[in-house]
Chain A
């Protein structure tokens, strides 16, 4: 198993994702003409990748601590408050700032 801790693997992974991203960006700029829009069968799943993959990243980051699920943590409190701020304001900077303050406050009280 190759961890992304060696300098070479960092360069390789970053370059690979950069190349893939560029192909995504260029895809329909080049295909347009042959293919006038994304086929419906491809477009619908694509729209669910965003919510699904972000939730699959964020929930374990908030709930799983040292290999097991923990609920009463400063991290969960911070994430819940941040979710409310995001919902009410849709402001990224405010969401991150309020979440960090909650994390520090609850961590300091606990």
Chain B
């Protein structure tokens, strides 16, 4: 397969997921306006953080007037899974030079990872780098266009519609598919319940405490069921 063919294949394979991500981008853009971010701030966020789940988490916390440190810690926690994607894809980008790995890494997000790793492991493509770039550039464009559309729409949406609640709903949509194994369910259950019980703690500490205990509970549950 030619590199150009692989680039097109990556773009085509990722298109449905990218378009769906673009619609999440619209929701995130609208929310950014409602939380009070200026357009340059929101665009900067989409360019640097570049991740739907993380941006939604940060905006949700900003909207509930969380301290800056909490927003930063939450963002860093929610995005941690990118380390796993990076590790999983690393063998396939080995032939890139160090300088080329920087833009390739910048473009790494959930849907690009999911589509690429399946294509590499099933042998759908023998040109991993162009395939990855085709998927990654398509997804990047959909996300940026989606958030900018949301920013424009956000200024005309009346506040009485409670569109800020789209963020918890987005989390529900993304959380449910992760609960496919019992240890994950335990991790989520403990994380969520602890966060609710600790809701009164200063500095929104419930989020970090809940996440930590949830991870611990997931590990214990895994050991329990595998023994």
What separation, in Å, do the CA atoms of A48 and B38 have in the docked complex? Answer: 34
Partner of B172, one of A10, A20, A24, A99: A99
Residues from 35 to 57 in B contacting A, C-beta threshold 8 Å: 36-38, 41, 44-45, 47-51, 53-54, 57
Say yes or no: B172 contacts A52, CB within 8 Å. no
A17 to B74 alpha-carbon distance, docked (Å) = 9
Q: Is B1 an interface residue (CB 8 A)?
A: no
CB-CB nearest in chain A for B44 = A14
The answer to whether B68 and A49 touch across the interface, beta carbons within 8 angstroms, is: no
Chain B residues closer than 8 Å to A19, beta-carbon distance: 48
Task: Bin the interface of chain A by size.
Answer: 35 or more
Nearest to A61 among chain B residues (CB) is: B168
Instruction: Evaluate contact between B49 and A18: CB separation under 8 angstroms.
Output: yes
Complex Cα distance A45/B83, Å? Answer: 12
Give the contacting residue for B192; candidates A1, A13, A29, A58; CB below 8 A.
A58
Find chain B residues with CB under 8 A from A15 CB. 44, 48
A58 touches B172 (CB 8 A): yes
- B residues near A (Cβ < 8 Å) are 20, 23-24, 27, 36-38, 41, 44-45, 47-51, 53-54, 57-58, 60-62, 64-69, 71-72, 74-91, 93-94, 96, 98, 101-102, 104-106, 108, 161-163, 165-179, 183-185, 187-196, 199-200, 203, 206-207, 210-211, 214-215, 218-219, 222
Q: Lowest 10 CB-CB distances: which A-B pairs, in order?
A: A18-B48, A52-B214, A55-B192, A48-B218, A52-B191, A17-B75, A59-B192, A56-B210, A32-B90, A95-B173
Q: List 6 A-B contacts (CB under 8 A).
A: A26-B101, A36-B91, A50-B178, A51-B184, A56-B207, A86-B177
